[in-house]
Amino acid sequence: MPVTREFKDTVQARIKQDRKYRKELLREGVASLLAGDLDTGKAILRDYINATIGFEELSRVTKRPTKSLMRMFGPAGNPQARNLFEVIGHLQRSTGLSAIHGGFTATSCPRAHK
């Protein structure tokens, strides 16, 4: 079921206003990737990027073309681990948040036991 534009706008507004929500969204995106749910992780991180730093600024700091970054986090994107973790590291530094504060355990990742 496609997400409506209004819902996306609501999520992005909350990301901009609520630091705790922003932190949890970043953490959830990374946790989804680590648990093997690449599509969900990419979608969450794409929304996070759009609402925080934006793809243009991310392109400038990572020295990767904007279009490449957008494809990387798009539905058909298949990012290399090196590129993906470079972006995640930058998102953490640029926002002052840590997606893995306290670390992950097998029980904290919902799909780890599949």
Q: Could you read off the pLDDT of 25-67 as tens digits, one per residue?
A: 899 999 999 999 999 999 999 999 998 899 999 999 999 999 9
In a domain, 106, yes or no: no
In a domain, 101, yes or no: no
> For residue 50, what are the domain limits?
5-95
**Which amino acid is it at 55?**
F
Average pLDDT, integer, range 13-31: 88
| Separation of alpha carbons 14 and 92, rounded Å | 18
User: pLDDT above 70 covers what percent of the chain?
Assistant: 82
The mean of the pLDDT values for the chain is 83
In a domain, 26, yes or no: yes
Structure pTM? 0.77
Say what the pLDDT of residue 46 is. Answer: 94
Q: Using DSSP, how many helices (H) and how many strands (E) does the chain show?
A: 6, 0
Helix (H, G, I), strand (E, B) or coil at 85: helix
For residues 46 and 73, the answer to whether their CB atoms sit within 8 Å is: yes
Q: Domains in the chain: how many in total?
A: 1
Say what the pLDDT of residue 101 is. Answer: 52
Sequence-separated (6 or more) residues with CB below 8 Å from residue 26: 45, 48, 91, 92, 95, 97, 99
Say what the pLDDT of residue 112 is. Answer: 44
Say what the pLDDT of residue 113 is. Answer: 42
In a domain, 79, yes or no: yes
More confident residue, 40 or 104: 40
In a domain, 100, yes or no: no
- Give the CA count within 13 Å in the CB-facing half-sphere of 31: 21
